[in-house]
């Protein structure tokens, strides 16, 4: 099976062109192919598929095989793959995801996609719809316990659930211990992604992320969007900011008129190869 590895700010996935290939068991394939010792190594598996309701469809599976609703970094890579590999010459693409249709605008120079701006839609702030078992709208400063300590979280869904926690120093914080604990906290019926955030100033945030089903990753597009929304809700930053992720900077904006969140950043090919199932 022909596969392509791509990365957006170090958030790496294996991409399969399902116009040419057939994936019968994506759950098992995601688990095997993502293994960084016995497989190819990635944060998960992304399928690029035909769609009647949009230009294309994206299905994505975390490294543990669980299917995720949406991934901002993966959607940018999908847009680059579609354009640069000749599946479409459009510079604006509609993409069906598990969180609905997203609009991707490509910045193309000399036939090559340099960056992609993704309309991530409106954030969901109602607790029970995120979902988190906190009956509030929005969920700001809700208590959550991890490793014997209580933290305060702001919860947002960008098609998938996020718990954003502000800390003094994200770089030295125990993301692995606290993130893994909160991910499976009973407050979250579908588990959750966890963002640990330090506010540098009103237009710069430092974020590390523990992704549901994958562990700490170098970047998370939906997490960056959720973080900006949460930080604005807490009055700590402007509606447009640069988020410093482990894999690099991502620009995020929460538009006041449309209530939509936009993220813009790079996408890159790593290699093409064949994988023997």
Residues labelled as active-site residues: 71, 220
Instruction: Output the six-digit token pair for 86.
Output: 């000749």
Could you give phi then psi for residue 81, rounded to 5 degrees? -60, -50
C-alpha to C-alpha distance for 115 and 71, rounded to whole angstroms? 16
C-alpha to C-alpha distance for 80 and 112, rounded to whole angstroms? 8
Q: Taking the chain, what is the end-to-end CA distance rounded to the nearest angstrom?
A: 8
C-alpha to C-alpha distance for 217 and 183, rounded to whole angstroms? 14
């Amino acid at each position: 099976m022909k596969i392509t590895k791509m990365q957006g700010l170090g958030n790496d996935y294996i991409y399969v062109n399902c116009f040419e290939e057939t994936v019968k068991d994506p759950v098992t394939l995601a688990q095997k192919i993502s293994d960084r010792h016995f497989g190819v190594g990635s944060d998960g598996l992304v399928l690029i598929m035909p769609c009647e309701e949009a230009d294309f469809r994206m299905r994505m599976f975390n490294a543990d095989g669980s299917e995720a609703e949406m991934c901002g970094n993966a959607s940018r890579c999908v847009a680059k793959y579609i354009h640069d590999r000749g599946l479409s010459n459009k510079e604006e693409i509609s993409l069906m995801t598990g969180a609905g249709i997203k609009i991707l605008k490509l910045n193309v120079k000399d036939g090559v996609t340099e960056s992609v701006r993704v309309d991530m839609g409106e954030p969901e702030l109602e607790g029970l719809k995120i979902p988190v078992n906190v009956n509030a709208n929005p969920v700001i400063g809700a208590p959550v316990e991890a490793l014997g300590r209580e933290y305060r979280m702001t919860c947002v869904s960008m098609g998938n659930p996020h718990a954003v926690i502000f800390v003094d120093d994200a770089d030295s914080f125990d993301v692995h211990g606290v993130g893994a604990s909160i991910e499976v906290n009973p407050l979250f019926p579908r588990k959750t992604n966890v963002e640990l955030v330090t506010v540098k100033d009103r237009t710069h945030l430092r974020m590390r992320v523990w992704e549901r089903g994958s562990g700490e990753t170098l970047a998370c597009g939906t997490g960056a969007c959720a973080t900006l929304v949460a930080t604005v809700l807490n009055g700590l930053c402007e509606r447009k900011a640069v988020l410093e992720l482990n894999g690099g900077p991502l620009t995020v904006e929460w538009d006041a008129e449309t209530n939509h969140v936009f993220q813009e950043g790079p996408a890159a090919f790593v290699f093409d190869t064949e994988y023997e199932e």
